[in-house]
Structure 1
Amino acid sequence: MTSTLPRPTTDFSTLPTPRTEQEWLDRARLVRGLLAVDAAARDAAGATPYTEVALLKDSGLVTLLGPVEHGGGGQEWPTAYRVIREVAAGDGSIGQLLGYHLLWFWAARLVGTPEQIEQVEAEATRQRWFFGGAVNPRDADVVIRDEGDEITFTGRKSFSTGSKVSDVTVLEGVLENDPATHVFAIVPSDQPAITFHDDWDNIGQRLTESGSVTLDGVRVPWAAAAGFRDKVFAPRVYNTLNVPVIQLVFVAFYLGIARGALDEAAQYTRGTSRAWLHSGLDRAVDEPYVIDTYGDLTAKLWAVEALADAVALEALPIHRDPDAVTEQARGEHEVRVAAVKARATDVALEITSRVFEVLGARATTSTLAFDRFWRNVRTHTLHDPVAYKRREVGRWVLVDELPQPTWYS
């Protein structure tokens, strides 16, 4: 089944490529508006989002982090997080897909050699590749066999966000006779050795194509193993920045979903909700408890958005000089990321639940699907326990302990 999103009325080919952060945010808001039109219907259909991904490509958002000389946006992570937030406000699933895509696009810089970074970013930007990833650390490791000039990936992962809608997939595994050595590689998604199982059937983020995948001897040249020279990897502290970045991507689409819920609820309250019959008021927008609820939820959202923006800016020196980052700087940044992840989780869940208090009984109809905002946030916030994020902050406050780099910290 394909998606039902109507083709955008905007011909992006006639528009100038955005250059500034503001222009990219304006482009993201345009995409948000197109996605929001039938987001409820597409969520109910649960169809593969080919058209939505085409929209991300046509709009140029997939090349946001790409080099300008190859047609990309040349932007940095603070802008990327805000763009993800905007898209997620229109459709949480598509915001997640964009966020994961940008993470895997950037991953070449995380672990690749200079030559690999230049080649991957140039090709991905020119061709507008859409990235997926099969890197779930909770599963058994994918096994990599050294076969001379090539390596092969064999195994299964429970989650592979992007799957069928991706052009390329990031794989990760461990060498067969050296399980301490992890290898990342980018491979074409459409090939016989990769089977996507179409078994993503969760209550939220229904359009993220996050089902399981089987790898049956996916062949990759050793030259394409990210960061390896002569089959040897030289680790850097910067290699461990994958977790802070992906956690801030999560924050971005959590806050975007919350913003979408709040904005759509406010529109419904202004145009459809009725004042309580015993209130003595004519309009729902004049109800004191309704006003208080919107003020409370908006203030909380603004506060976390501001914290998220601040933490993103704090990381710029790390990203701009990867070879200079220290374990101390990385650890202190992760503590701040953990703090904003915890607050974003709590606030997004609160907003997407409490909007029902000011919408009224008629707003629970399945056609409106206001519940999709909560379902989306609830589904993804279970990715890793938020209590462990608060623990990272608490240990740092009490005993000056920095988080040790893991797949989740």
Structure 2
Amino acid sequence: MTETLTLTQAPEQLLDRWQHASRPTDHAGWLARALEVADILAADALERDRANQAPVNEVQLLKNAGLVTVLGPIAHGGAELPWHVVNKIVRIISRADGSIGQLLGYHYLWAWAVRLVGTEAQIAAVEELYTSNNFFFGGAVNPRDSDLKITEEAGQLVYNGHKSFSTGGRVADLTVLEGVLDGTETHIFAIVPTQQPGIVFAGDWDNLGQRLTESGSVEIKDVRVDWSGAAGFVDREFQPLVYNTLNVPGLQAVFNNIYLGIAEGALASAAAYTREYTRAWPFGGEDKQHGTEEFYVLEGYGQLASKLWADAALIDQIDLEISEVLHAPREELTERRRGEVAVRVAAGKLRIIEDGLEIANKIFELTGARASANRVGLDIYWRNLRTHSLHDPLPYKKHEVGKFVLVNEIPTPTWYS
């Protein structure tokens, strides 16, 4: 039997896998490429999770496979994939490794951030920069912390402050910052190089799950940005559009696919274990020989699979809806349409979190006591899903959906809705 190479044991061989391969030319080809990457990540996901090291090789794998630039312009080496395909890539990667799925999903949203709030000139410049250089995005934009303080010195914006959470951290080439101009209520986004003295990551993310997401704290010290880099500002005045507020529904749609991917990975891993190892209960009668003959096991997998398939169908439809909005002319988006999309994304989120957590828990009943061994590692799916699904309270998503259904009221745009 040929030994499976892993990213831990043989990173050079795996990172060079696509060195002489042609790039995919259609949606199916890119999804197939994502499946190749997922197979590599799945081989040692548990080992890398336990090591809890900065995912340098993992991000390089995404880069070498071409997945980092799929939203970027074809003219600069991108693929210009639509968001509904990009979210499927996030889902595929999350099946294998929820942490890396989160990193990639956040990267896509931050790469799109310049389209959400930037001027046409800024969009062109940033998309050329990150696509042609194969750069990876992170973000230090945690709304629950105090905003970064921005002062103006010699015609430049100077960012200072602390964020208790970020994403991408030390493995990001570019970092998105957000702060408030001192003495005003003006929020300003900017994209800056990560590797500079004024951005100091603590490397202190050591949580239950999503352990490789570089989500720890960061200090921002005198990071300078020219006014030309203030996203969406013309002559120091912001040019608002409803489209600017799609950052939250866009990111939450990414969440849906992270969660769905983790749940799909959990069910597939459990089923593989059951087929190989789960034993029939010897006192149940009918002289069953294997766990796959147990009625309660068959019933359990049937229930979980039907919920997961329903969630996937719902999320697929939602992704088509938000993809259409994200790729439409920015000036056309109305507050009503934005709100309808946000409600749909919230509905998908509440379903996949509840069903996904049920799956990640229930699989232990269906695989048996021996499947709780640390070497099996089925706990990684529950840990990852439970950790990230605490990002914002699910009851508020239910409230948004209920208010829309009962009184036809759309959510007011906030940092979380």
TM range (shorter): over 0.9
Residue of structure 1 equivalent to 2:182: 176
Quote the Cα distance in structure 1 between the aligned partners of 2:9 and 2:166.
23
Please state whether the residue corresponding to 1:315 is helix, strand or coil: helix
2:345 to 312, 323, 337: 337
Quote the Cα distance in structure 2 between the aligned partners of 1:361 and 1:201.
28
Residue of structure 2 equivalent to 1:39: 45
Residue of structure 2 equivalent to 1:114: 120
1:21 to 18, 22, 27: 27
Residue of structure 1 equivalent to 2:292: 285
Matched, 1:4 2:12: no
Matched, 1:299 2:306: yes
- Which deviations, in whole Å up to 9, do the C-alpha atoms of 1:128-173 show, x marking residues without a partner? 1010000000001111111242101000001111100111100000
Matched, 1:350 2:355: no
Matched, 1:102 2:114: no
Unmatched runs of 5 consecutive residues or more in structure 1: none
TM superposition shift of 1:6: 3.4
Residue of structure 1 equivalent to 2:4: none
Which residue type is aligned with residue 391 of structure 1? H
Residue of structure 2 equivalent to 1:312: 319
- Which deviations, in whole Å up to 9, do the C-alpha atoms of 1:101-144 show, x marking residues without a partner? 00100111001111110111111011110100000000011111
1:226 to 228, 231, 250: 231
Quote the Cα distance in structure 2 between the aligned partners of 1:99 and 1:122.
20
CA RMSD after TM alignment: 1.1
Query: TM-score scaled by structure 1?
Result: 0.97
Quote the Cα distance in structure 2 between the aligned partners of 1:147 and 1:20.
48
Contact 1:222 1:231 (C-alpha < 8 Å) held by counterparts: yes
Please state whether the residue corresponding to 1:132 is helix, strand or coil: strand
Contact 2:203 2:216 (C-alpha < 8 Å) held by counterparts: yes
Quote the Cα distance in structure 2 between the aligned partners of 1:66 and 1:349.
34
TM superposition shift of 1:5: 6.0
Pairing of 1:4-403 with structure 2 (within 5 A): 4=8, 6-7=10-11, 9=14, 11-178=17-184, 180-279=185-284, 280-319=287-326, 320-403=328-411
Please state whether the residue corresponding to 2:409 is helix, strand or coil: coil
Task: Calculate percent identity across the aligned residue pairs.
Answer: 52
TM superposition shift of 1:47: 1.1
TM superposition shift of 1:276: 1.5
Quote the Cα distance in structure 1 between the aligned partners of 2:280 and 2:71.
47
Query: TM-score scaled by structure 2?
Result: 0.96
**Number of positions where the alignment pairs a residue of Structure 1 with one of Structure 2:** 406
Quote the Cα distance in structure 1 between the aligned partners of 2:146 and 2:122.
28
Please state whether the residue corresponding to 1:96 is helix, strand or coil: helix
- Which deviations, in whole Å up to 9, do the C-alpha atoms of 1:38-92 show, x marking residues without a partner? 1111111111110100100001111110111111111011001110000000000
Unmatched runs of 5 consecutive residues or more in structure 2: 1-6
Quote the Cα distance in structure 1 between the aligned partners of 2:40 and 2:256.
22
Quote the Cα distance in structure 2 between the aligned partners of 1:274 and 1:43.
29
- Which deviations, in whole Å up to 9, do the C-alpha atoms of 1:377-396 show, x marking residues without a partner? 00011100000000001011
Which residue type is aligned with residue 403 of structure 2? R
Contact 1:161 1:208 (C-alpha < 8 Å) held by counterparts: yes
Which residue type is aligned with residue 382 of structure 2? W
Contact 2:250 2:322 (C-alpha < 8 Å) held by counterparts: no
TM superposition shift of 1:400: 1.1
Contact 1:112 1:226 (C-alpha < 8 Å) held by counterparts: yes
